[in-house]
Amino acid sequence: MSRRQALCMGGTSGIGLGIALELARAGFDVVVVGRNPARGAEAVRRLELAAGGAEDSSFAFARSDLSVVKNVKATCEAFMKQHARLDVLVMTQGRGSMMRWTDNGEGTHANIAVNYLGRVAAAFLLAPLLRASSDPRVLTVLAAGMHKPYVHAADDFAVREHFSFANQADAACSYTDVAFDRFATRFPKISTAHLYPGVVRTNWMIELPLSVRCLAWTLCGACLWTCVKSGDDVGVEFARALLLDEKSGGGGYRYVF
Ligand SMILES: NC(=O)c1ccc[n+]([C@@H]2O[C@H](COP(=O)([O-])OP(=O)(O)OC[C@H]3O[C@@H](n4cnc5c(N)ncnc54)[C@H](OP(=O)(O)O)[C@@H]3O)[C@@H](O)[C@H]2O)c1
């Protein structure tokens, strides 16, 4: 049987990289996607080490800004050209951000696109490839169940009229909750999980303004921060949950929490 295939969008850092490493240890080939080529190259180096030089293993970095849906589409199409099957799709792309209205060039706020629209687009575009697997699995990590619904969703879906940091976060996160619940219903053969990781020591804060980071550090305290689990540790836990009951054939799990 050929090696199992994984695509990790957001796999160049933090929780996504932790998951990708555990998948490499479990015998998967992995493609990680992100914007930063230096992080991508380092991720590939670590994946090769994690696989321990396994014969025929393959690890690659694909550069893409996944806050633009046409880039998400191009990334999925490139993957589909090179692979006949996808066993595991992981989506952890996105970081903490307090950006004002920032159009992604397609009429959508960049945060909403990276956290919601791009993930849903990728899952649906790759569904045929996932269905070619005997036990396909999808994991998305954001803030499952943590945000209230965006109250103006019916008449301001894109959060243009009522833009605020809180509203765009509520919209992106609650839309993603609903979308992956629907995805799981639409594709019952594809085990689907959407998770909230809690506070994890990663690069998640690096794009926040310095003042916000300083405030977080002061409130949290450097000592407490070092006690928080790392992206590698959480990645191992999430990857093991992702592969649960793999040997029994799995299929059809649905966790949205
Ligand atoms: N860490 C926490 O405490 C925490 C708490 C709640 C929720 N979360 C959620 O958990 C998920 C994973 O976060 P993390 O903590 O692992 O953060 P992280 O270490 O910053 O990793 C984020 C990953 O997403 C990629 N990424 C970010 N923006 C992107 C874009 N526009 N296009 C393509 N790739 C992009 C980054 O790659 P490049 O740098 O190469 O672009 C990186 O690989 C995120 O959805 C985050 O919101 C995290």
**SS3 call for 29:** strand
What's the gap in Å between 27 CA and the centre of ligand 1? 24
Give the Cα separation of 255 and 183 in Å (integer): 11
Nearest residue (CA) to ligand 1, atom 45: 142
Which of 177, 202, 205 is the pocket-test mutation for ligand 1 (most atoms within 8 Å of CB)?
202
99 pLDDT higher than 90: no
Does the C-beta of 111 come closer than 6 Å to ligand 1? Answer: no
Give the Cα separation of 108 and 129 in Å (integer): 27
For residue 231, which atom of ligand 1 is closest to its CA?
A: 16
Note the pLDDT tens digit of each residue in 3-62.
Answer: 999 999 999 999 999 999 999 999 999 999 999 999 999 999 999 999 998 889 999 999
Q: Phi and psi dihedrals of 8, rounded to 5?
A: -115, 100
Taking the model in full, what pTM does it have? 0.94
End-to-end CA separation in angstroms for the chain? 33
Burial zone of 95 (CB within 10 Å; 0-12 exposed, 13-18 middle, 19+ buried): middle
What's the gap in Å between 16 CA and the centre of ligand 1? 8
Nearest residue (CA) to ligand 1, atom 8: 142
Sheet holding 137-141, edge to edge: 59-63, 28-34, 4-9, 88-91, 137-141, 191-195, 254-256
Does the C-beta of 15 come closer than 6 Å to ligand 1? Answer: yes
pLDDT of residue 2: 85
Does the C-beta of 204 come closer than 6 Å to ligand 1? Answer: yes
Please identify which residue in the block is written with the tokens 């933090």: 14
Give the Cα separation of 136 and 90 in Å (integer): 11
DSSP-derived secondary structure letter, 149: P
Confidence of residue 68 (pLDDT cuts 50, 70, 90): very high
Q: pLDDT higher for 28 or 99?
A: 28
What's the gap in Å between 84 CA and the centre of ligand 1? 28
127 pLDDT higher than 70: yes
List the single range of 86-100, 182-196, 201-215 with lowest mean pLDDT. Answer: 201-215
Q: Phi and psi dihedrals of 89, rounded to 5?
A: -115, 125
Does the C-beta of 47 come closer than 6 Å to ligand 1? Answer: no
Segment 224-230 shows an average pLDDT of 77
Contact 77, 4 (CB under 8 A): no
For residue 206, which atom of ligand 1 is closest to its CA?
A: 20
Ordered structural domains, the chain, with CATH: 4-256 (3.40.50.720)
90 pLDDT higher than 90: yes
Does the C-beta of 3 come closer than 6 Å to ligand 1? Answer: no
Does the C-beta of 34 come closer than 6 Å to ligand 1? Answer: yes
Q: Phi and psi dihedrals of 248, rounded to 5?
A: -80, 0
Torsion on CA atoms 166, 184, 15, 217, rounded to nearest 10:
20
pLDDT of residue 222: 64
Give the Cα separation of 6 and 113 in Å (integer): 22
Note the pLDDT tens digit of each residue in 72-85.
Answer: 999 999 999 999 99
- Report the chain's C-alpha Rg in angstroms: 18
257 pLDDT higher than 80: no
